[in-house]
Amino acid sequence: MQKSLLMAALIAFIATGCGRGDAEVQACEPEGACYCTDGTERETLCVCEGGSDCSVDGDDIEFECEGNAACGLSCGEYCLVTCPGTTSCTADVGHGAVVECPGTATCDIACYGDCEVFVDGAASAEVDCVNEAEGAVCEIYD
């Protein structure tokens, strides 16, 4: 009985990919530089180390770039992306995304639907509202 329960738990863990919910790391360079766990503001939190370039498949994900190096991120709809400190982030996000670019970060954002970008402190952001001609609205706050 215990062996069957252990096997079922192992299969369930493998089936969830890198973390909880529907998030799955599709690619990450360097390998292993991104992990996912339970989120606080979204269902899933995915954290990528500075200097990495990671793509996570899924919606409703919190995405963080750690450290003071650049991150390349991409995710689906309703993502929350935070590029803290002195990092620079390049992010491709879908509809309903919220991007926070605080401190002295430099953010290059491509929004493929309605999105909001918050710029604080001495940070700077360049926002490409990719589908603006089709009615997408990208709002920038600072």
Residue 72 forms part of a structural domain: yes
How would you classify the pairing of strands 24-29 and 53-57?
A: antiparallel
Sheet architecture: strand order including 124-129: 24-29, 53-57, 71-74, 88-93, 106-111, 124-129
pTM of this prediction? 0.77
- For residues 80-91, average pLDDT: 83
Residue 70 belongs to domain spanning: 18-141
Cβ partners under 8 Å of residue 30, min gap 6: 51, 52
The answer as to whether 119 is a domain residue is yes
Flag whether 11 is in a domain: no
Q: What is the pLDDT of residue 5?
A: 32
Number of structural domains (the chain) is: 1
Would you state the structure tokens that stand for residue 82, as one six-digit string?
């935070």
